[in-house]
């Protein structure tokens, strides 16, 4: 049943990494991406790999889950590799075969870019696997809240994200129902060319939009009835607190960056 | 066009952590011209069962024969069968999408590839069945109508397929008494005059008692009893055990019998009870 | 004693509408009372509910809730805290992805300190017997359970009135019973005043008082017994009467001297037994 789908790719287990403050995790993920871009040697990548492996162990997440995230990206990865390999023509020639011209620099750039891309995906997967969508939206809201001073609607953005998360399962269920109801009236969602298929979606999308608007109206009224009046003077049940564990995680990240810098200087 | 189910089981998300068997080993035969009510507690598998009858869900195991043809056979044209077995979902008004009532009702017939003339005829017939005046409503937007009227438009959309079997999943849910009566009398007419086999999922024992010729009682994914309302509603204890009520008249009959009033055990409509009680009263007080 | 809710000469017209949705409504609700409002769709009963919660402001007349006039814009949030409202569609009033966070929603809006929240949430969930679902996702609950969560969300705000706008219309019989029983218990045990809008006669039969609304006006008001005696009038208003009330009227016509206004099967059994039981 659609009801049971897991949201996003959150992997619901308890661990040191899961319990970290989402704000810290978001910041650390950004730091991790920066660190990956600072790496210029294979040894450096080995260090990053080691770091990722250790983190995944500490998060109780099977390493396979991380690599699974790469699967949909395999074409982009291969493309990045090939483009860099064949289209970097300057530098020492490694191989010349007819129109194919591979240089040492080309090979090294191809390896670099694909590795960076891979780590980028793996790093963000680590964030989404260990942080529930609602915590993620909380974290984003709080990180953006200093921008409120410049009239940036951080609270509204957070509220929107969490309501969206709340209604995704409801709307999925509804989609399934409307689809079946139209199929019972002979609708065909499966055959025909692209244009025909797009047209076949109308009986599905119109009721879905109508229903989403109706729900939005109802919800707005229910929220008002429960005294919702924006973010001002509002308290929160879930208060995020930075603990020693978060400092520890920051220290670990600082260690990683330091290692990469030192390794870059030595080699 | 009889429908025959043998050993039908349906398991959702088989093989995953969320695996759940919604119906188990269902054996049923539904004959032409019956008015069947499917009753059961929420989650007893009623909705899953009826979605099998027109091939929207495929059984995990077991077979469904419609007019002797295997519904899930490789060569079976399921869309053709869906036309013969119409299914009205819960809150069907949420499936409306066209600009006008007539266009929405025409959606089904259009999918059947009928001529414009035939489609127009069918739309008019379907609107007559649901008591909506063609001249008044055909060109109006379905979204301007009242809830009860929208529901009737949606039902007309299924009726325009001219099915031989009409399945309705809680057709009166959320309506006020007037809306409820309208829908039910309409269904009754379709059954009595249109010769349509009706299968209705319902929570209202009083409605079911009034309308159905046979009940299918479901509990925890299994069919636990089938029979006429009279047969089923005498079994007050069995019904209680599976968290279902009986019509109020049947409840009263059981209470009075327990108090020592000599009444037949199988009374379940207010009319019968009224006649019986008045007869008793006249017997005791001959004036 | 002061009235909890006072509706005085109220008329209300929707912005784009020509005809008023409600006309000359006069109605008082005492503290601790359970009042059912009956009427068919479009009769104006939902509008009445929204006037009490200050979601709408009367075009004419005044609505006073717990001594607060709904026209007073500064007191809107106090009124809504005092008079909580549950709506028809269980899916469309739950805001959060976890039950206890949804219960917290109202508290967060009122600015209740974070450290006070857990206790209030727990007691609200306990009052509707949903503690064990505190950490569940709302979309995994049944309709009746979702409505109970909505009630808990209001209870946490410590209201003196609960307004239910057809809160059982989309539920199955056991869900309906679950929700009505919960609200009746809160009414009896905590003395919360209830305005229960419904089109189920059996639910209205359990109220202290029934108000029948038709075409934007109050058509009849009184105890369920008084109101349901008028079988023909109720049917004319496209409403119904409880099955037992109808049956007892038929039996009376046939000559059985039953009292008027029988509402439940148990009462009916009792009264019929007085006349027909072998021992009598």
Domain ranges of chain C: 5-224
Q: Does residue B225 sit in the same domain as residue B260?
A: no
- Which chain B residue has its CA at the smallest distance from A5's CA? B18
- Calculate how close chain C gets to A136, using CA atoms only, in Å: 13
B268 and B216 share a domain? no
Q: Yes or no: say if B199 and B143 are a contact pair by the CB < 8 Å rule.
A: no
Structurally, chain B folds into a number of domains equal to: 2
Sketch the domain layout of chain A as residue ranges. Answer: 10-131+241-266, 144-225
Note the pLDDT of residue A192. Answer: 78
Q: Which residue of B has its CA nearest to C265?
A: B252
| Interface with A, mutate which of C92, C104, C121, C147 (most A CBs under 10 A) | C92
Give B193 to chain A, closest Cα distance, Å: 23
Residue B225 forms part of a structural domain: yes
Q: How many Å lie between the alpha carbon of B116 and the closest alpha carbon of chain A?
A: 17
pLDDT at B17: 64
In tens digits, chain B (287 residues) has pLDDT values of: 899 999 999 998 776 666 788 999 999 999 999 999 999 998 899 999 999 998 899 999 999 999 888 988 888 888 888 889 999 999 999 999 999 999 999 999 999 999 999 999 999 999 999 999 999 999 999 999 988 999 999 999 999 999 999 999 999 998 988 899 999 999 999 999 988 999 999 999 999 999 999 999 999 999 999 999 999 998 888 998 998 888 999 999 999 999 888 889 889 999 999 999 999 888 888 76
Query: Residue B214 sits in which domain range?
Result: 1-76+165-175+194-230
Option in A227, A236, A238 nearest C110 (CB)? A227
**The C209-214 sheet, strands edge to edge:** C83-86, C161-165, C193-198, C34-38, C209-214, C217-222
How far away is chain C from the Cα of A152, in angstroms, using its nearest Cα?
20
Shared domain for B64 and B28, answered yes or no, is yes
Which chain C residue is nearest to residue B147, measuring alpha carbons? Answer: C41
Chain C contact present for A134, CB below 8 A:
yes
What is the per-residue pLDDT for A4?
A: 41
Residue of chain B minimizing CA distance to C275: B281
Contact flag C265-B174 (C-beta cutoff 8 Å): no
Which subunits sit against C, judged by 3+ Cβ pairs under 8 A? A, B
Say if B240 is an interface residue toward chain C (CB within 8 Å): no
- Classify domain C5-224 at the CATH topology level: Rossmann fold (3.40.50)
A235 has a chain C CB within 8 A of its CB: yes
- The 10s digit of each residue's pLDDT in C145-202 is 999 999 999 999 999 999 999 999 999 999 999 999 999 999 999 999 999 999 899 9
B223 in a structural domain: yes
Chains meeting B at 3+ CB pairs closer than 8 A? Answer: A, C
The pLDDT averaged over each successive group of 10 residues in chain A (267 residues) is: 50 88 94 91 91 92 82 85 82 78 85 90 89 88 90 90 89 92 88 84 93 94 93 86 92 93 84
Based on the fold, state whether residues B171 and B282 are members of the same structural domain: no
B4 and B67 fall within a common domain: yes
pLDDT tens for residues C233-249? 998 988 889 999 999 99
Tell whether B146 is within 8 A of chain C (Cβ): yes
Weakly modelled stretches of chain C, pLDDT under 70: 1, 279-280
Per-residue model confidence (pLDDT) at position A2: 41
Which of C85, C120, C139, C155 is the mutation pick for testing A, counting most A CBs within 10 A? Answer: C139
Residue B242 domain flag: no
pTM: 0.88
Q: Do A186 and B86 touch (CB under 8 A)?
A: no
Question: Which pLDDT score is estimated for C61?
Answer: 95
Size of interface A-C (CB pairs under 8 A): 91
CA-nearest residue of chain A to B16?
Answer: A4
């Amino acid at each position: 049943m659609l009801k049971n789908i897991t949201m996003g790719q959150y992997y619901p287990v308890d661990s040191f990494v899961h319990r970290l403050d989402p704000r810290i995790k978001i910041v650390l993920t950004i730091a991790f991406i920066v660190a990956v871009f600072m790496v210029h040697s294979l040894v450096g990548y080995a260090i990053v790999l080691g770091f990722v492996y250790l983190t995944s162990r500490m998060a109780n997440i099977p390493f396979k889950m991380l690599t699974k995230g790469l699967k949909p990206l395999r074409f982009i990865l291969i493309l990045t590799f090939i483009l860099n390999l064949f289209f970097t023509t300057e530098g020492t020639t490694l191989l010349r075969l007819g129109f194919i011209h591979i240089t040492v620099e080309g090979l090294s750039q191809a390896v670099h870019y694909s590795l960076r891309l891979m780590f980028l995906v793996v790093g963000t997967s680590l964030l989404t696997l260990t942080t529930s969508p609602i915590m993620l939206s909380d974290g984003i809201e709080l990180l953006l809240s200093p921008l409120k001073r410049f009239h940036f609607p951080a609270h509204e953005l957070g509220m929107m994200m969490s309501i969206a998360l709340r209604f995704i399962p409801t709307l999925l269920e509804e989609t399934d129902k409307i689809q079946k109801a139209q199929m019972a009236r002979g609708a065909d969602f499966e055959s025909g060319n692209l244009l025909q298929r797009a047209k076949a979606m109308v009986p599905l999308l119109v009721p879905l939009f109508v229903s989403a608007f109706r729900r939005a109206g109802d919800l707005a009224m229910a929220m008002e009835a429960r005294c919702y009046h924006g973010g001002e003077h509002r308290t929160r049940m879930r208060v995020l607190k930075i603990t020693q564990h978060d400092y520890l995680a920051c220290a670990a990240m600082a260690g990683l960056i330091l290692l990469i810098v030192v390794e870059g200087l030595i080699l | 066009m009889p429908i025959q189910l043998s050993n039908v089981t349906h398991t959702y998300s088989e093989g995953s952590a969320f695996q759940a068997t919604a119906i188990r080993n269902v054996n049923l035969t539904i004959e032409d011209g019956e008015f069947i009510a499917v009753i059961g507690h929420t989650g007893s598998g009623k909705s899953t069962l009826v979605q099998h009858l027109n091939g929207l869900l495929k059984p995990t195991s077991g077979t469904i024969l419609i007019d002797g043809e295997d519904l899930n056979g490789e060569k079976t044209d399921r869309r053709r069968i869906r036309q013969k077995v119409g299914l009205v979902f819960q809150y069907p008004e949420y499936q409306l999408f066209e600009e006008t009532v007539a266009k929405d009702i025409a959606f089904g017939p259009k999918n059947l590839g009928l001529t414009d003339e035939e489609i127009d005829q069918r739309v008019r017939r379907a609107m007559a069945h649901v008591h909506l005046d063609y001249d008044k409503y055909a060109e109006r937007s379905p979204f301007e109508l009242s809830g009860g009227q929208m529901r009737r438009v949606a039902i007309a959309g299924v009726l325009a397929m001219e099915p031989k079997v009409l399945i309705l999943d809680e057709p009166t849910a959320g309506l006020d008494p007037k809306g409820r009566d309208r829908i039910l009398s309409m269904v009754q007419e379709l059954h009595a005059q249109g010769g349509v086999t009706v299968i209705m999922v319902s929570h209202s024992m009083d409605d079911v008692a009034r309308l159905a010729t046979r009940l299918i009682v479901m509990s925890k994914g299994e069919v636990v009893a089938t029979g006429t309302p009279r047969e089923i509603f005498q079994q007050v204890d069995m019904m209680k055990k599976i968290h279902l009520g009986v019509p109020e008249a049947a409840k009263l009959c059981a209470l009075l019998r327990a108090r020592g009033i000599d009444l037949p055990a199988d009374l379940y409509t207010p009319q019968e009870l009224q006649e019986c009680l008045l007869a008793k009263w006249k017997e005791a007080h001959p004036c | 004693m002061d009235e909890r809710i006072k509706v005085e000469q109220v008329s209300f017209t929707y912005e784009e509408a020509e005809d008023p949705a409600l006309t000359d409504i006069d109605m008082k609700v005492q503290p601790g009372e359970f009042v059912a409002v009956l009427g068919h769709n479009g009769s104006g009963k939902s509008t009445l509910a929204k006037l009490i919660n200050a979601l709408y402001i009367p075009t004419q007349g005044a609505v006073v809730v717990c001594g607060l006039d709904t026209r007073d814009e500064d007191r809107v949030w106090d009124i809504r805290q005092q008079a909580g409202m549950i709506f028809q569609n269980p899916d469309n009033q739950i805001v959060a992805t976890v039950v206890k966070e949804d219960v917290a929603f109202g508290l967060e809006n009122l600015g209740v300190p974070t450290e006070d929240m857990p206790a209030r949430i727990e007691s609200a969930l306990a009052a509707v017997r949903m503690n064990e679902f505190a950490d569940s996702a709302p979309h995994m609950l049944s309709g009746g359970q979702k409505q109970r969560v909505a009630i808990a969300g209001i209870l946490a705000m410590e209201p003196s009135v609960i307004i239910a706008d057809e809160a059982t219309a989309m539920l199955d019989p056991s869900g309906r019973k679950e929700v009505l029983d919960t609200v009746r218990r809160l009414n009896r045990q905590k003395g919360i005043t209830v305005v229960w809008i419904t089109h189920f006669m059996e639910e209205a039969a359990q109220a202290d008082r029934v108000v029948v609304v038709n075409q934007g006006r109050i058509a009849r008001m009184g105890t369920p017994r008084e109101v349901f005696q008028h079988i023909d009038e109720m049917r004319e208003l496209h409403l119904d009467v409880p099955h037992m009330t109808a049956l007892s009227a038929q039996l009376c016509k046939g000559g059985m001297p039953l009292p008027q206004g029988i509402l439940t099967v148990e009462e009916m059994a009792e009264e019929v037994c007085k006349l027909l039981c072998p021992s009598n």
